[in-house]
Structure 1
């Protein structure tokens, strides 16, 4: 079957946009093919700084014929309705329609529309220009002479050529002819901008890749990443060092080069007096280079690894020298900032105060605004201090240490290093705190109170750090809720979803029982927001959404997120057993019966069953379930009281045989009204027993 090869060659595409652009091209083209009836076997997309290439293999030579029936108005309908139907169906007269009879609705007109298939090249020639013109670049503009026309193509960088071929593997593929803004499609591309700029003819994906590789272009981004990482590791190993690996930087560097050439540079050893994190930050941010570790002491070495985009005739000496000059200048600035931050502020009114205390005093004095409705950063720090002191004993932390850490948590915002390298915020606060003799837990809290900042970020474990991190995030959440600045849809300018997720992970990962309702300003609406974030987290961890809903619907202790998680886990474990599945089926049957009968009776059947009536008139299976309920319910409540949800589930699972036998032998809606009422109350007890841990009616299946 024929294959499609498409390449869009342009000036350099920003690295951060490449992956999304490749994914969009693949989805847009394949979705459009399928929508037109051109099903395919597989698709592959590749991207470099200068090109996006798509291969779709196993396409049919033509789209299939389509026969569509379109229902029209009834026979005898007004003329306007008839004419509208003819126009929409493309019929010349009503005689071209057929009449369909319906015993209930009467006769109506049906148009049978037959659309012949189209050659797949014609379909592709229609799709690709549409995809190119509507490409959703985050930023795009019109380039060159075409920029004077509002109808010309907008693209992230100037589009230079379009390669588009189609044909079976055994034959010479044909060019799909079309043009976009004067760029005519063809079967050629170009290699590396400097090392192989000549035109290359390509037929299909396999020889396209081979030809590009010979022309110094590695089209597959994963292969570029593999080569960069392997060469960097080997180069470091040969010099007696270790590469400090960085997945984010690797992805970015792979998006900057088409032919990766890994080189090593160096800087003066005197710069190693700067903290490793600052060295790494400046080298990474400014030069997109990897840092190198000395395995003998675990510290950074005075080396760095860069990735060039060319095999230079001098072996890369000039490239290395250029990077060394820039890095030397940046590290010189960083060393000055680092040394300056450790000195008292000049002319400060309290020269005897420690450096971080002086920085905090400066932050307060400048009245730096946190939010116009929530006050200054100094006022925010005061709120965090009070909240951290309140939270500390609840999480096992020292209140005095928590308050001290909260006082200094934002002080490094006023340091020279953080002003130049914002990404080391918190981390530098920790280093400066240790230098001025603060308690280790205070220093740890200054660094870690921002954490976790995402689902994969590290969660603090030091109790003081946990207290301050909770205080920081809860202050943000309750504050913005108080001024009604809540996330809406996809917009969350103050990262409140991330803050709520951070609170959840701080509590659950550290196994902390903590009632959110005891925090001032914590509303029911905010608790609901937390529940939504918890659902997302648990779904990402593989838990079923309906189990989370079932646990939350029970209404018991829902402001203690750790207990909610434990109940969900226990419920999932129960439903993973045969007893659990059958108990669920029986309980849902009981709930459905109760819902129907309570609606009919206009009242709930949740009173205690009449034990004497059960004994006098009950069937054996009825008596057995009644007795089991008394025992199992008591055991389940006891386990719940001790927060042993697994034990509670196990106790409830023992009801399964009695529930099965009851529904097999007992008629709930007995003719005797008293017996009917009593049996409904037995089912009400079953509903109440399971509700101690979850609302089983919310569980699917």
Structure 2
């Protein structure tokens, strides 16, 4: 079957746009083909700095023929309706329509519209110009006298179509003067001449020979492996950086890995600041000494050319830029530890920067006050949380007050991604207690799914205070996440609280913690936030393989705000429901709940609570169930009181046979009203017994 090869050749495409552009090209072209009834076997898209390429293989030569029957007006309908039907169906007269009869609705005109499929190259000649003109670049430009907009000037287009065994044809079309053919260019400097290509395999091979690696994944592999080997050859170890790797692969078509050096005097700056400087300014990797784990004064850069001098001039140019940038970083590092003019009498360097934040009245949010006010709230809340997590309240408050001070530092001003980390360095430099300094960095954690939660008590107290203040504050001004929008990262904050509690196995009363926070007000915010935590917990547990309905079943008990206890209940419930006893008892409990829900619509909610009359238990199955319920409820309650949820499940499992026997032999809705009411009260006891561990009505299945 024929294949399509498409290349859009231009000036340099920004690295950050390449991956999405390749996917957009594939989606737009293949969606347009499918919309025209053309199916294919597979498609792949690629990007280099100067080209987007697409191959679609296993295409048919022609679009399939189509046949459509379009129902028209009744026979004898007004002339206007008939003419409208003829026009829409493309018929010259009613002679070209057929008549179909319906016994109920009468006779109707029906147009049979048959369309012959077109050659696929004709369709491609329509699709590609439409795609190019409507391409969703984040930013585009217009050049020359035409109206075409592209990310950078578009120079040429390859578009070939044909079988593997034949020379493909060039699909003829034009896009505002941009030529379409079967030629491209290789590397800008090492092989700038024209290359005539036939199909995708030929295209890839000729580009490779012309010093262009088409596949960005392969360029990344080359960079990573060569960088590792170059570092290893010097007795060093590459500090791998995924962001640098992807950007470097998007900047070169023929990656060449080189090593440079900088003055060892700069190694007095923290390693993370050195890496941030070199990454941000030159898109280079840093390397470390595997024996010490510290950075060395070497870096690895990625060139786009095999230079005649072995890359010496390229390395020297990068060294000059990095020397200047590291000089700036060294200045920031040293300046941040000196007295801050005008604040010398407010304490140590971090205290001075805190005083500057407070004095400057920087607004955190117009409805939630200044950054200084927020720091005071977090400090007070951290002190209140500290005893609950085994932390010293004074240390927690001190760490919380210093936690945001580095936002006023020169280094964080230049590299915002270092906030917290630089605060820890500055806290250590001014002699703060170890747990306080660590908490300054760790209170931001976990920053994402792959980040560890803080584990030291002081850091835990500050991290919880920071996240809870954020959540309660934005809840109080009704700035909650909606749909996919979460501008204040409140979902991440809630997941952070959950991770901290679960990873450290902390018993935290969430409702009480929320109510300690300013802006919490009455119970409305706390209850609403608890529901939000429940949703986030479901997400967290679902990622770990747990069922969301089990979380609902536990939260439905009410008053469940201890995350660790909730998870233990969910885990025990999941294991129980995986047994035969659990499955059978779930079916019985849901049957009881369904009957009660239906009957409560007649008698009112709570009509069956308490007051069961043992004298009316006429049948042996009723008496056996009531006796089993008394024993199981007592045993389950005792187990729950000691947080032995496995034991509670085991106790409830004893109800399986009595419940099954009851439903097999007893008619609940008896004709005798007193008997009916008593049996419904017995069902209510089943529901109450099950609710000692979970609301089984919330469980699916």
TM-score (norm 2): 0.91
Residues 1:459 and 2:453 are matched in the alignment: yes
Aligned match of 1:525 in 514, 525, 528?
528
Residues 1:448 and 2:451 are matched in the alignment: no
Q: Which moved more, 1:328-337 or 1:274-283?
A: 328-337
Distance between the aligned counterparts of 2:289 and 2:590, measured in 1? 63
Q: In 1, are the aligned partners of 2:277 and 2:325 still within 8 Å (CA)?
A: yes
The Cα shift of 1:137 comes to 1.8
Structure 1 equivalent of residue 129 of structure 2: 129
SS at 1:114 equivalent: strand
Structure 1 equivalent of residue 159 of structure 2: 164
Residues 1:366 and 2:360 are matched in the alignment: yes
Cα 1:466–1:79 change in 2 (3 A) is farther
Q: In 1, are the aligned partners of 2:612 and 2:682 still within 8 Å (CA)?
A: no
Structure 2 equivalent of residue 325 of structure 1: 320
Aligned match of 1:515 in 509, 516, 524?
509
Trace 1:279-298 onto structure 2 (pairs within 5 A). Answer: 279-298=274-293
Structure 2 equivalent of residue 340 of structure 1: 335
Distance between the aligned counterparts of 2:90 and 2:545, measured in 1? 51
Deviation per residue, 1:487-546 (Å, 9 max, x gap): 333333322222222222222222222222222314333333333333333333333444
Distance between the aligned counterparts of 2:552 and 2:94, measured in 1? 55
Distance between the aligned counterparts of 2:91 and 2:698, measured in 1? 51
Q: In 2, are the aligned partners of 1:613 and 1:675 still within 8 Å (CA)?
A: no
Cα 1:2–1:475 change in 2 (3 A) is same
Residues 1:259 and 2:254 are matched in the alignment: yes
Structure 2 equivalent of residue 238 of structure 1: 233
SS at 2:114 equivalent: strand
Distance between the aligned counterparts of 2:488 and 2:99, measured in 1? 61
Cα 1:571–1:434 change in 2 (3 A) is same
Deviation per residue, 1:317-366 (Å, 9 max, x gap): 01100010111111112112212222222454517x21211221122222
Distance between the aligned counterparts of 1:469 and 1:6, measured in 2? 52
Cα 1:613–1:299 change in 2 (3 A) is same
Distance between the aligned counterparts of 2:132 and 2:646, measured in 1? 56
Structure 2 equivalent of residue 591 of structure 1: 593
The Cα shift of 1:634 comes to 3.5
Distance between the aligned counterparts of 2:392 and 2:450, measured in 1? 28
Residues 1:540 and 2:535 are matched in the alignment: no
Q: In 2, are the aligned partners of 1:609 and 1:682 still within 8 Å (CA)?
A: no
Cα 1:649–1:8 change in 2 (3 A) is farther
Q: Which moved more, 1:181-190 or 1:267-276?
A: 181-190
CA RMSD of aligned residues (A): 2.7
Distance between the aligned counterparts of 2:77 and 2:588, measured in 1? 54
Q: In 2, are the aligned partners of 1:100 and 1:110 still within 8 Å (CA)?
A: no
Distance between the aligned counterparts of 1:281 and 1:628, measured in 2? 67
Distance between the aligned counterparts of 1:665 and 1:258, measured in 2? 79
Cα 1:419–1:114 change in 2 (3 A) is same
Q: Which moved more, 1:305-314 or 1:46-55?
A: 46-55
Aligned match of 1:176 in 130, 148, 171?
171
The Cα shift of 1:193 comes to 1.5
Deviation per residue, 1:154-208 (Å, 9 max, x gap): 2222222222222222222222222223224322222111111222222222222
Cα 1:383–1:44 change in 2 (3 A) is same
Structure 1 equivalent of residue 49 of structure 2: 49
Trace 1:86-105 onto structure 2 (pairs within 5 A). Answer: 86-92=86-92, 96-99=97-100, 101=102
Cα 1:457–1:606 change in 2 (3 A) is farther
Distance between the aligned counterparts of 1:683 and 1:363, measured in 2? 63
The Cα shift of 1:673 comes to 3.8
Deviation per residue, 1:66-110 (Å, 9 max, x gap): 33444556667766666555544445556625435265x676665
SS at 2:618 equivalent: helix
Distance between the aligned counterparts of 1:16 and 1:267, measured in 2? 28
Structure 2 equivalent of residue 149 of structure 1: none
Distance between the aligned counterparts of 1:666 and 1:117, measured in 2? 68
SS at 1:185 equivalent: strand
Q: Which moved more, 1:629-638 or 1:181-190?
A: 629-638
Q: In 2, are the aligned partners of 1:2 and 1:58 still within 8 Å (CA)?
A: yes
Residues 1:414 and 2:414 are matched in the alignment: no
Q: Which runs of 5+ in 2 are unaligned?
A: none
> Aligned residue pairs: how many?
691
